[in-house]
Amino acid sequence: MKILLVEDEERVSSFIKRGLEENGIQVTQAFDGTTGLRMAQRNKFDVIILDVIMPEMNGLEVCRKLKAEFGSDISILILTALGTTDDIVEGLNIGADDYLVKPFKLRELLARVQALGRRKSVKAQKIHVQDLELDRETKEVYRNGHEIALTAREFRLLEYLMQNKNKVVSRMDILESVWDINHDLGTNVVDVYINYLRKKVDHGFETQLIKTVVGMGYAIKEH
């Protein structure tokens, strides 16, 4: 499991990091809200632990921005010294999946993190972008409840785009991840398969999900 820990108190952060790593969890640290937000946007983590009171950007604002961008695809646990009901409700209302009031026992934090990781693993079998749903386990794709028949390569391409929804991926990124090729083929195979997908996924729908970003690559957009 990969965790992003955003906590400005280095002593507390080191204590948490050491305890989680002793239980086989990989921990990446950030010490302010702005850095934590940037790292969460650029990397995949199973759970993000956010302190509330931090320099530059507080944990609630980081949580709000991440949930607006990634929705249920990201799991967030809030650490707070602000233990009143109103503080807790505010955190949950902006999308936090769980909270823990300081001071806390490490074993309780570990249990909460592991529970969020298991929940995310179950959710991760299915990926959603608006009314488009991809099921990794059954290899089925539906849009607005209607099944879409895809070839194995089309499925892998769509899965990659949906895993990186709202991000622009280059043709080289796609070749490496979908075709397992780490050099430019000098062909338009990616563009051809994007067109195949568009005909199956977007044709006949008012909202076109698969976007071309000129000079950069492709993206599948939530909004």
Q: Within the chain, how many helices (H) and strands (E) appear?
A: 8, 11
Q: What token pair was written down for 223?
A: 């909004």
What pLDDT sits at residue 120? 67
- Three-class SS state of 48: strand
Residues near 223 by beta carbon (within 8 Å), at least 6 away in sequence? none
Q: Give the predicted TM-score (pTM) of the model.
A: 0.58
Is it the case that residue 88 has pLDDT exceeding 90?
Answer: no
What pLDDT sits at residue 122? 59
- Structural domains in the chain plus CATH codes: 2-123 (3.40.50.2300), 126-220 (1.10.10.10)
Confidence of residue 4 (pLDDT cuts 50, 70, 90): very high
What pLDDT sits at residue 193? 95
What pLDDT sits at residue 127? 86
What pLDDT sits at residue 184? 65
* Residues 95, 87: Cα–Cα separation, whole Å: 13
The string of pLDDT tens digits covering residues 133-156 is 998 888 999 999 899 999 999 999
Q: What percentage of the chain exceeds 90 in pLDDT?
A: 55
Average pLDDT, the chain: 88
The string of pLDDT tens digits covering residues 166-209 is 889 999 999 988 887 766 666 789 999 999 999 999 998 889 99
Residue type, 186: G
Interaxial angle between packed helices 152-163 and 171-178, expressed in degrees from 0 to 180 and rounded to the nearest 10: 120
What pLDDT sits at residue 76? 93
